Amino acid sequence: MKNNSTKLIYIFYSLCLVILFAQCKKDTLTDNEDTAQTGFLTISPRIDITLLKSAQAVNTDSFKIEIYSSTDVLVQEIENFNDLNVPIELPVGVYYVIIHSNNLVPAAFNNPYYEGRSENFQIIKTTTTNVEVVAELSNVKVTVQYAAQTQADFIGFKTVVSTGTDSLTYLEQDTTAGYFIVTPLSVRAQLLYTAVGGSTDTLVIFGEIPNPQPKDHIVITVLASLNGGGINGITLTVDESTNPVNITIQDTTFSGTFSGILIDPRDLQEYTTVQIGNQVWMAENLNFLPDALNFPSDGSQTIPFYYQIDPAKGILYNWPAAMNNTNFEGSQGVCPSGWHLPTLADWNELANFIQLDNSTPPDVGTALKTTNGWNGTDDYGFTALPGGLRNPEGGFSELNTRGFWWTSSEAGSSFANYRMLENNVNLISNSMNKSAGLSVRCIQD
């Protein structure tokens, strides 16, 4: 009997130990599970539109949500705020939230971009955390207006605001707001007016906005007036910005290098022009094609021939076409009225001015070549492009590596002088058979 009692006691204590061990194991598992438990996050967006002139309700439904860990690792993203119907379950830890509209582009009308970042916050086990994110305008807002005097004196208006790669064009009475990424902006206002004699001329005003900031609302006011057919005063002001920029441009400002617009009355094409020293050059290759086009069947030097390979680089003309079938030096040639095909002396004057204009004379070719397409610095706005040539014997070559321009200076009965630029060579003077097709730059009489 005693032995049976001892056995029962032994069994009882054994069961207690098993239960106690199981309970300890359960407690241990619960503690481990605690570290893996999650909390919940809710997000409330708020749009800051205090700096917008016309504050309107902003629809946040399509805003994108990005949740990051405190170590800047993207944890979760939600494409549309409207899809956020329940709290977001996250492991315990430290996070922050970025919320933004899904419409960031370099430049666009009526397209404000908003973005905001929350402070860091803690997700606690089984607790719901609410985070408010303030999304602010991240663009530069730009509007353009034309002063009453400008509207009275001029007959056409166009203002282009550019980031350097993208631009918006504001026309007459266009009060639409443009939104730009935060980068330096350039402004070009083009005004048409009736000059003495009844012809239509163009005034171009340039300005810069070097340091715009997010949430700036920049109002550009274009002010210009005429006095007896001439330019009296030109003012371009920028105001209503948190970083105000005021720009004043007058006709006397333009010395050394002056940029303008030439409208060819024959086909109404526009060309940028540039004053370098005492000369005014086209800053683009001529792109004029007459009504009657001739296409060569042989290497004739007497028939005008025209070749259009790349409209952005102008037409390639053989020398009879460039000279419009004349042969005297300084001829108007194929150029618009008031302009002429430059002589070899004209090109030499250009090169000499660039050399003398600098304390350390630059490579003239590099100073004339555009920065886009080859290794130029375009210091004077001449914007020389590699247009290549049509070979005298037929076929095209050097279309993206060299630029060739005719002069009106002959080098014999079958040859004429030209100027040439390439990647690694300064401005070169040489002669070529008149049947070749080269580019044309016109110079003002």
How far, in Å, CA of 415 to CA of 430, rounded? 10
Amino acid at the residue 89? E
pLDDT digits (tens, 9 = 90+) for 202-211: 788 878 888 8
Q: Pick the residue with more confidence: 300 or 80? A: 80
What does residue 224 show for φ and ψ, rounded to 5 degrees?
A: -150, 150
Q: What percent of the chain shows pLDDT beyond 90?
A: 26
Flag whether the pTM goes above 0.75. Answer: no
How far, in Å, CA of 319 to CA of 164, rounded? 36
Q: Pick the residue with more confidence: 430 or 153? A: 430
**Chain mean pLDDT for the chain:** 77
- What pLDDT sits at residue 2? 39
- What pLDDT sits at residue 10? 37
pLDDT digits (tens, 9 = 90+) for 289-303: 876 554 444 445 567
Q: Which whole number is the average pLDDT over 379-399? A: 90
Amino acid at the residue 394? G
What residues are paired with 132 via a beta bridge? 44
Q: Of 7-21, 281-295, 297-311, give the lowest mean pLDDT range.
A: 7-21
Is the predicted pLDDT of residue 6 greater than 80, yes or no? no
Q: Pick the residue with more confidence: 212 or 294? A: 212
pLDDT band, very low/low/confident/very high, at 60 (cuts 50, 70, 90): confident
Q: Of 33-42, 89-98, 279-288, 413-422, give the lowest mean pLDDT range.
A: 33-42
pLDDT band, very low/low/confident/very high, at 314 (cuts 50, 70, 90): very high
How far, in Å, CA of 142 to CA of 127, rounded? 45
Q: Of 24-33, 156-165, 370-379, give the lowest mean pLDDT range.
A: 24-33
pLDDT digits (tens, 9 = 90+) for 147-196: 888 888 888 888 889 888 888 999 877 788 999 999 998 888 888 877 66
Is the predicted pLDDT of residue 34 greater than 70, yes or no? no
Q: What percent of the chain shows pLDDT beyond 70?
A: 75
Is the predicted pLDDT of residue 94 greater than 90, yes or no? yes
How far, in Å, CA of 426 to CA of 438, rounded? 18
How far, in Å, CA of 180 to CA of 213, rounded? 10
The 10 Å Cβ neighbour count of residue 382 is 21
pLDDT band, very low/low/confident/very high, at 436 (cuts 50, 70, 90): very high
